[in-house]
């Protein structure tokens, strides 16, 4: 895995990342809506500072968000989808995203798809030593044989609904297994695609989690995977293939429905959306032969898109923990100014999202 050398980042950068993570953690905590509404006329005032700081970083220092995105997303609750998308939409400033709706676009043919992104967060630090030792052993030798059967209990920390699982450990497990799988595939002289990632210890772990976890645990697991298909890079390609493989090999419709839900949740919120997730979703709805009731699935998906596709100027649910009201955000950075207007596209390094009428392309595919 590519990690920048320690000398590349001073202690000041690390301290800044820690401060931003703390701010994101504080800004994404569920708040008592009635109390806030009573104290301020603006229900988004509590989170406005967090959003503005992240937008400035996205505009002027996108590489900073790229390098530390894992640590920031690790402290964001799963329901703060748009805040997570805002962080994950960062990409190197010299990169231009290809249009995901380009006919016959082959993501695996892009030159950037073999580049491993930098991650400067020590994500393995949350793994208990014995757990990591057993994990490494299983990835190399598929031993101990009880590792998969014990995985569920290792991730579960309580029986309280909504807090059953160690979210940080799930996030670390998904990224670690994914990076080890990419290294394993490269060592064999191949590149990640749906075929090479199958029949491996790495995919055995992912498939076991998809089948063995309950609804709550599977939702956290799938969200952990969905954090990685971002801009064109090696992680985006591998985890996109992983999502498609888990969908195709799912032994129940419940798993396919939950995979579809996780993707749609990140695509129906207001901008920004992730390039990698949109590519994955397009591939998924193009290849639904694995769905037992294919016509019913497509019809239900089409009805959902027609119902929930974003419309210009339509206000969002104000009860959301971190919903961005585009018409209420306006800020200036030292070098450039950036404005967000209701119903228009936020232009930040040509990264953020597509016009609402692009949903018509998805409906055409269906």
Give yes or no for a contact between 148 and 155, defined as CB atoms under 8 angstroms apart.
no
In a domain, 1, yes or no: no
Residues 97 and 89: their CA atoms lie apart, in Å, by 11
Output the pLDDT for position 53. Answer: 87
Nearest to 46, CA basis, from 35, 58, 60, 59? 35
- pTM over 0.85, yes/no: no
Nearest to 247, CA basis, from 298, 207, 197, 279? 207
**Sheet strands (E) in 312-353:** 330-332, 337-339
Query: Residue 247 corresponds to which tokens in the numbers above?
Result: 């969908």
Segments of the chain scoring below 70 in pLDDT? 1-12, 27-47, 192-195, 288-295, 297-298, 304-366
Q: Is the dihedral of CA 310, 314, 315, 317 positive or negative?
A: negative
In a domain, 314, yes or no: yes
In a domain, 272, yes or no: yes
- Backbone phi and psi for residue 99, each to the nearest 5 degrees, phi listed first: -65, 120
- Backbone phi and psi for residue 18, each to the nearest 5 degrees, phi listed first: -65, -40
Output the pLDDT for position 18. Answer: 84
- Backbone phi and psi for residue 358, each to the nearest 5 degrees, phi listed first: -65, -20
In a domain, 92, yes or no: yes
Output the pLDDT for position 339. Answer: 33
- Where does residue 60 fall: left (phi above 0), alpha (psi -120 to 50 degrees), or beta otherwise? alpha
Which residue range is the domain that position 313 belongs to?
6-365
- Backbone phi and psi for residue 165, each to the nearest 5 degrees, phi listed first: -120, 155
Task: Return the bridge partners of 165, or none.
Answer: 156
Residues 226 and 206: their CA atoms lie apart, in Å, by 13
Output the pLDDT for position 50. Answer: 82
Output the pLDDT for position 270. Answer: 78
Output the pLDDT for position 300. Answer: 73
Virtual CA dihedral for 13, 18, 21, 23, nearest 10 degrees? -100
Output the pLDDT for position 35. Answer: 43
| Tens digits of residue pLDDT in 253-312 | 899 989 999 998 888 887 888 999 999 998 888 876 666 666 676 677 777 666 665 554
Residues 250 and 211: their CA atoms lie apart, in Å, by 8
CATH number at residue 175: 1.25.40.800
Q: How many domains does the chain have?
A: 1
In a domain, 270, yes or no: yes
Nearest to 241, CA basis, from 206, 189, 292, 201? 206
Residues 6+ apart with CB under 8 A from 93: 62, 63, 349
Residues 230 and 234: their CA atoms lie apart, in Å, by 10
Residue with tokens 């491996």, as numbered in its chain: 200
């Amino acid at each position: 895995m590519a990690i920048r050398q320690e000398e590349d980042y001073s202690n000041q950068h690390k301290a800044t990342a820690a401060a931003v993570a703390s701010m994101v953690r504080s800004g994404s905590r569920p708040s008592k809506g009635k109390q806030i509404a009573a104290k301020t006329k603006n229900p988004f005032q509590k989170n406005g500072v967090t959003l503005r700081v992240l937008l400035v970083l996205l505009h002027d220092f996108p590489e900073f968000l790229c390098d530390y995105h894992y640590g920031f997303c690790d402290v964001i609750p799963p329901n703060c989808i748009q805040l997570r998308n805002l962080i994950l939409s960062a990409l190197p400033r010299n990169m231009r995203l290809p249009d995901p709706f380009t006919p016959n676009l082959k993501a695996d043919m892009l030159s950037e798809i073999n580049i491993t992104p930098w991650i400067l967060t020590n994500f393995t630090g949350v793994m208990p030593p014995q757990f990591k030792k057993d994990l490494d052993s299983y990835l190399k030798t598929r031993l101990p044989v009880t590792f998969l059967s014990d995985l569920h209990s290792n991730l579960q920390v309580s029986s309280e609904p909504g807090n059953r699982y160690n979210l940080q450990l799930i996030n670390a497990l998904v990224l670690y297994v994914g990076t080890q799988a990419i290294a394993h595939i490269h060592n064999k002289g191949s590149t990640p695609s749906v075929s090479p990632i199958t029949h491996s210890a790495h995919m055995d772990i992912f498939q076991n989690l998809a089948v063995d976890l309950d609804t709550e645990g599977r939702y956290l697991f799938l969200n952990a995977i969905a954090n990685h298909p971002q801009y064109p890079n090696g992680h985006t390609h591998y985890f996109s293939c992983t999502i498609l493989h888990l969908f195709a090999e799912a032994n129940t419709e419940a798993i396919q429905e939950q995979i579809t839900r996780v993707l749609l949740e990140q695509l129906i919120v207001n901008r920004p959306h992730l390039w990698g997730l949109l590519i994955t979703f397009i591939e998924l709805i193009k290849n639904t032969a694995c769905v037992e009731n294919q016509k019913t699935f497509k019809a239900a998906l089409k009805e959902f898109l027609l119902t929930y596709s974003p419309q210009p100027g339509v206000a969002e649910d104000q009860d959301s923990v971190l919903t961005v009201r585009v018409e209420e955000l306006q800020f200036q950075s030292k070098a450039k100014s950036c404005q967000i207007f209701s119903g228009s596209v936020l232009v930040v390094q040509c990264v953020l999202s597509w016009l609402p009428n692009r949903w018509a392309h998805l409906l055409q595919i269906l």
